[in-house]
């Protein structure tokens, strides 16, 4: 199950992602907003809570630029959020950073690219090995 959420800037892009990826068999828990204006930090917290509680495996957050969502999500313990706008970074943030949340900007990328990136994010595994040590170091910073 994938948690997904957006602020008012990301509603249309979120709908495209849910529609396109549902057709490919992915299941979403849509945390809103459905259109009402909302503050992106509140939405980031809501979606990330689904992940830290174990209810969802990964999350997708969309705002105008994706930046506000990624700043907010990365404040939450256990969350490694990556702002994704190209396929290389999206693939490697899964392979090397074991990112559990992807953030995208509805005002910076179109629906075709966003759906492609979401699919890469959701289907690429973590490489582990030396990258596990580095992820553990991030967790150690978090626990200081």
Determine the Cα–Cα distance for residues 63 and 17; give it in Å rounded to an integer: 14
User: In the complex, what is the shortest distance from the CB of residue 121 to ligand RB5, in angstroms, rounded to a whole number?
Assistant: 19
Contact between 49 and 24 under an 8 Å Cβ cutoff? The reply is: no
**Residue 59 host element (H or E):** strand 58-63
Q: Quick one: 7 or 45, whose CB is closer to ligand RB5?
A: 7
Site membership for ligand RB5, residue 67 (CB under 6 A):
yes
Q: Quick one: 9 or 115, whose CB is closer to ligand RB5?
A: 9
**Residue 72 host element (H or E):** helix 67-73
Q: Quick one: 26 or 106, whose CB is closer to ligand RB5?
A: 106
By CB under 6 A, name the binding residues for ligand RB5. Answer: 7, 9, 40, 63-65, 67-68
């Amino acid at each position: 199950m994938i948690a997904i959420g957006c602020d008012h800037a990301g509603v249309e892009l979120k709908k495209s992602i849910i529609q396109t990826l549902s057709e490919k068999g992915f299941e979403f828990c849509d945390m809103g907003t459905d259109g009402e204006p909302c503050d992106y930090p509140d939405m980031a917290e809501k979606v990330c809570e689904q992940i830290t509680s174990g209810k969802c495996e990964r999350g997708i957050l969309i705002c105008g630029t994706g930046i506000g969502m990624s700043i907010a999500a990365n404040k939450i313990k256990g969350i490694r959020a990556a702002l994704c706008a190209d396929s290389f970074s999206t693939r490697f943030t899964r392979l090397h950073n074991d990112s559990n949340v992807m953030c995208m900007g509805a005002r910076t990328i179109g629906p075709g690219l966003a759906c492609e990136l979401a699919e890469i994010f959701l289907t690429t595994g973590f490489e582990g090995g030396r990258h596990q040590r580095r992820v553990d170091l991030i967790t150690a910073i978090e626990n200081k």
